[in-house]
Amino acid sequence: MRILALESSCDETALAIISGSGSDWVLEKDIVYSQIAIHQKYGGVVPEVAARKHAETIFPLLTETLGEEKLATIDYLAVTAGPGLVASLLLGVTAARSLAYAAAKPLLPVNHMEGHIYSNWLSNSELKNNDQKYFPSLALVVSGGHTELVLMKNHGDYQLLGTTQDDAVGEAFDKVAKILNLGYPGGPIVSKEALEGDDQAYKLPRPMLNSGDYNFSFSGLKTAVLYTLEREKNISQAAVKNICASFQAAAVELLVKKTIKAAQEFQVKSIMIAGGVSANQLLREELKKESTKISLPLFYPELKYTGDNAAMIAVAAYYGLQNKNKKILKGEEIFSAKPLSNWQIFLK
């Protein structure tokens, strides 16, 4: 079985090819074109600009991915249908629909958050070879648009345990960087500054830490950083580092405490993290420490698969086909694929 996957939900245009049978699969191609440099000057992703860039890049990248080959060697097409920016999604979905219909190949719409979870299969051979041993698993999916605790009972079988009530954690990192004039995207910059800062220097709140559920809130934490800055007026370099460290410590504590609590309550066999924020070193270290205490294996993706990519979409489609849990659109049905900007992972 050979699958060509397309991803264009935000500011990365990506294509990948996976092939294999059973748990024996390989990623043959993996191409990501990131628009970050373009959006940096605006301080964040501009949806209209992102969509235009996807339109420009998607077909040249397709030619690069296929090389000398033709679509005839591909058995299925997969595309991220949501969640994400609607105009960006539309580009990928329209391209995939046209290709699938013209080449008479079935099309699988894939959920982007499910894709992030499957980035763990790309990076952990133990999980890839023995995944049944690790279900149910608790997935903490943390990105610029989402903060979700998902109970993965098996392939394609999800229960949403909690989500953010306001800002996503990646968004909070981005906004804190903006408040401090540090640039975009904020996560890598704030965490780098935090390395040399004192995380006890500022007493920042832990919103909803004891809410008794698995939901999150990061907007108050971001506002607390803003008020701190307003109070301080002339802020030194050292103070910026201290604010970054104090903010990061608060954000990570919220994520780790709720994840561990949910892991215990739902008696999972493993924990996974995924999404852009799973690149965060402190989050990895703290979660490793706490999951070891309760004897649970922790999986996380290699850094190159924490951000958006099509390899994770290809893997999600692959397991969807293996386990017959995905919609497979054929013939005229292909045109029913559409962008679903708020598609929830647990909805088929």
Residues found near Zn ion in the complex (CB under 5 A)? 143, 308
* Overall residue count recorded for the chain in this entry: 348
207 binds, among ligand KG4, Zn ion, none (CB under 5 to 8 A by kind): none
Contact segment (CB under 6 A) with ligand KG4 among 219-227, 272-280, 285-293, 325-333 equals 272-280
* CA 38 to chain CA mean position, Å: 20
Cβ(133)–Cβ(269) under 8 Å? yes
Give the separation between CA 59 and CA 216, rounded to whole angstroms: 39
Which amino acid belongs to residue 133? K
Q: 19 or 119, CB closer to ligand KG4?
A: 119
Backbone angles phi, psi at 149, to 5 degrees: -105, 115
Angle at 33 between CA 29 and CA 34, to 5 degrees: 140
- Scanning the structure block, which residue is given the tokens 């980035």? 119
Nearer to Zn ion, 88 or 228 (CB): 88
* Site for ligand KG4 contains 275 (CB under 6 A): yes
Q: Which of 82, 144, 197, 339 binds ligand KG4 (CB under 6 A)?
A: 144
Task: By CB under 6 A, tell whether 220 contacts ligand KG4.
Answer: no
227 — phi, psi (to 5°)?
-65, -40
Q: Where are the alpha helices (DSSP H) in 147-211?
A: 169-179, 186-194
Stretch that binds ligand KG4, among 32-40, 141-149, 214-222, 334-342 (CB under 6 A): 141-149
Binds ligand KG4 by CB under 6 A, chosen from 80, 94, 191, 228: 191
Using CB under 6 A as the binding rule, whether residue 143 contacts ligand KG4 is answered as yes
Determine the size of the site formed for ligand KG4 (CB under 6 A): 20
Distance CA(280)–CA(295), nearest Å, equals 22
Instruction: Determine which residue in the list 106, 187, 197, 207 makes contact with ligand KG4, applying CB under 6 A.
Output: 187
For 57, the 3-state DSSP assignment is helix
Binding window for ligand KG4 (CB under 6 A); candidates: 94-102, 166-174, 211-219, 259-267: 166-174
186 is a contact residue toward ligand KG4 (CB under 6 A): yes
Q: Which of Zn ion, ligand KG4, none does residue 339 bind (CB under 5 to 8 Å by kind)? A: none
180 binds ligand KG4 (CB under 6 A): no
Asked if 306 and 274 touch (Cβ cutoff 8 Å), the reply is yes
Contact flag: residue 62 with ligand KG4 (CB under 6 A): no
Nearer to Zn ion, 199 or 308 (CB): 308
Q: At 91, give phi and psi (nearest 5°).
A: -60, -50
Strand partners, 163: 148
- Residue ranges in contact with ligand KG4 by CB under 6 A: 10, 143-145, 170-171, 173-174, 185-188, 191, 275-277, 279-280, 307-308
